Amino acid sequence: MTTRKRVVLVAIDGSDHAEYALNWYLDNIHRPNDVVIGVHSADYSKLQSQPLTLLSSDKSLITNFLETEEESVKKLAANFESKVLKNQIDGKFIRINGDPGPGIVEVSNNEKAAVIVMGSRGLGTIRRTLLGSVSSYIMYHASVPVIVCRQ
């Protein structure tokens, strides 16, 4: 009899909060048959905040930003893959682009995740109301349980 694998999606953004969430998963709910998917949404917000005139006049700004972001993603993927190998877990890293909330929910649906684990940045009520919250979005839109780990 084969045991069905449980797919666990872990949101990865390079923060201490995301690292805590991955460690929390490993310490508390990990099962030997789990497949762990680390999902990272590339952060282009710094590029979007630049004036359009500056972006169109200085192409090297865009190139340098994209190269820096690509290096950051490679480091995150390597760190995730190292932790998965160290703990002898079946896993993979998926990079998405765009808004992280909808992207993570879409990956969860496509990969048939059983649960989503993510860190909490601890935004206060006012900041969360004004800025929104990725974890709030995911909790509202995901079709599976969401565990938000707070340090």
Domains of the chain by start residue, with CATH: 7-149 (3.40.50.620)
Question: Residue 85: its pLDDT value, please?
Answer: 94
Q: 24 Cβ partners below 8 Å, 6+ apart?
A: 117, 147, 149
Tens digit of pLDDT for each residue in 4-21? 799 999 999 888 989 999
Asked if residue 53 has pLDDT above 70, the reply is no
Cβ atoms of 137 and 128 closer than 8 Å:
no
Asked if residue 50 has pLDDT above 70, the reply is no
Asked if residue 52 has pLDDT above 70, the reply is no
Helix (H, G, I), strand (E, B) or coil at 106: helix
The overall average pLDDT reported for the chain is 84
Question: Residue 135: its pLDDT value, please?
Answer: 87
Tens digit of pLDDT for each residue in 89-144? 999 999 998 889 999 999 999 999 999 999 987 555 554 444 458 888 999 999 99
**Among the listed residues 84, 115, 98, the one whose alpha carbon sits nearest the alpha carbon of residue 10:** 115
Tens digit of pLDDT for each residue in 124-136? 555 444 445 888 8
